[in-house]
Amino acid sequence: MNRTSEWAVVQTDLVGSNVTIAEFAVVRSGVVIGNDVVIHPHVVLEPGVIIGDAVEIFPGAYIGKVPKGPGALTRIPHFVPKVKIGSGCSIGPHAVIFYDVEIGQSTLLGDGASVREQTRIGSDTIIGRYVTINYNTLVGNGVKIQDHTWLAGNMTIEDGVFISGGVGTSNDNAIGRKGYDEARSRGPYIERGAAIGVGANLLPGTRIGAYAIVGAGAVVTRDVPERAVVMGVPARVVLKDGY
């Protein structure tokens, strides 16, 4: 039996069973909602959003935001007007998910997190509070990204990576002064099982090898070998096989 508040706006018939839609939620035409879903107050789901079974979406989340750049952006956004959220996910209060995003099963998106277009996030992953994931970024399975981390566009994070809080990344050594060039603007590539310490900064195009460790506050200006431990500004290898 479904429970829909009389104060909710529900414009779709594609709703599963045992679904709760709270007051002041807005569900647009064409949205698909699975079974056992809970939608809290003031959630907005735009057309083209697909919600899997047993997903809970907390108050104020906005799913299906159109990327817009009213003359200010050097990069023109490209996107498909669709969002797919896998079963068992939890979407935190005031999280914003742009169009053209796919999220796997049993993934947590924390309070106030922002996920830009053309991003793919795997299963069993944690995206912490107020994390920003920019456009065309791939996040694997079993990844943990802690609060207030900023991930640049055109970035890849493989399975099992741990990224601590306050980590910064970048994708343009020209700092925007040459305009946007897709071929030149590349974020870091973090291989499977690597760990990034709190407050570290990864510069454009750097590659963090599998199971490497980047120490807290390090500034990574060059590739880090597999299983190495790097520290400092700029980051230097202090152990070639840390563990």
pLDDT digits (tens, 9 = 90+) for 113-147: 999 999 999 999 999 999 999 999 999 999 999 99
Q: Which residue has the tokens 């055109």?
A: 154
pLDDT of amino acid 109: 98
Which residues in the chain come in under a pLDDT of 50? none
For the chain, the residue count is 243
pLDDT of amino acid 116: 97
How far apart CA 147 and CA 135 sit, in angstroms, is 19
Specify burial of residue 32 (Cβ count, 10 A radius: 0-12, 13-18, 19+): middle
pLDDT of amino acid 241: 82
Q: Are 137 and 158 in contact (CB under 8 A)?
A: no
User: If residue 38 lies in a helix (H) or strand (E), which one and from where to where?
Assistant: strand 38-39
Backbone angles phi, psi at 156, to 5 degrees: -130, 135
How far apart CA 2 and CA 116 sit, in angstroms, is 31
How far apart CA 191 and CA 205 sit, in angstroms, is 13
DSSP state of 87: T
